[in-house]
Copies of this chain bind each other. A is one copy, B any other.
Amino acid sequence: MLSFGERLDRVFATRGQLCLGIDPHSFLLAEWGLPDTAEGVREFGLRAVDAAAGVIGIVKPQVAFFEQHGSAGYAALEEVLAAARAAELLVIADVKRGDVGSTVAAYAAAWLTPGSPLEADAMTVAAYQGVGSLAEPVAQAMAHGKGLFVLAATSNPESVNTQTALLDRGEFEGMTVAASIVAGVDELNAADHLGSVGVVIGATVTAADYGISAGRLAYTPILAPGFGEQGALVADLPDLYAEVSGNVIANVGRSVLRAGRDGITGELARQAAELREVLAR
């Protein structure tokens, strides 16, 4: 069995580093002529998967938009996840779950267990309760060739004060909260190839402001939202992430989805080619 890090490495080599966020916002559903119902988000998700298949290698469904429709929304999501995995897309479930003990273990089981109805390849998680609270999800990810992405430095301005707070005790005393999460994750990853536990660092944040050093990211996959309508340019990725650019999953959402159901494939191909070109320089 390959680890998630190894699978990600292969996808990067064959399909590139672009990821499509599957975000059925109300306004996008309206633009696509779909209702804001479980049936609408299902249709939206399946079309986004079709558009991405064969063009890029990674998709990231935003689970909140499915959850809004209750169990029917989850049934729609199950179809979207299955279609994406059948199309050999690597699927990151953007759920930002977090808890402790047997509860966070249940969340991990929901998304990372082979054969479970909501099986994905990786999930996003929050570590407000400490990186140590994620021990169970980490163990499950390792056991099943799955991945995790832990929120570290996010792109919304309201997050800065919390994420730059300085640890006053423990192994990472003196580091910012964000840097301590990056360091905690670094310790979980192997030291000679891309690991299976990643972090989320928004494309519009400056990692140095958080005291995050590139050395602590050497083997860590980085999920980077913030490209496109949130302000960062795919062409700037090598400048933004410097020596760890090769570890970055560049997520694009609205800037592609607004191209409409018939325009997505073309826009994805264009952005994927652009990203490949700037990374090859």
* Interface of A toward B, CB cutoff 8 Å: 23, 25, 62, 64-65, 67-72, 74-75, 77-78, 96-104, 106-107, 109-110, 116-118, 126-133, 135, 151, 154, 156-172, 176-177, 180
Cross-chain contact of A151 among B102, B128, B167 (Cβ < 8 A): B128
Please, could you name 13 A-B residue pairs with CB atoms under 8 Å apart, sorted by A?
A: A70-B116, A128-B159, A128-B162, A129-B151, A129-B159, A131-B158, A133-B158, A161-B171, A161-B180, A164-B167, A165-B166, A165-B176, A177-B177
Task: State the number of copies, please.
Answer: 2
Contacts of A99 in B (CB 8 A): 64, 96
A203 nearest CB across to chain B (Å): 14
CA of A125 to CA of B23 in the docked complex: distance in angstroms? 21
User: Given known contacts A78-B71, A110-B67, is B161 in contact with A100 (CB within 8 Å)?
Assistant: no
- Counting chain B CB atoms within 10 Å of each CB, which of A110, A161, A164, A166 scores highest? A161
Contacts of A157 in B (CB 8 A): 132
**B130 near A128 (CB under 8 angstroms)?**
no
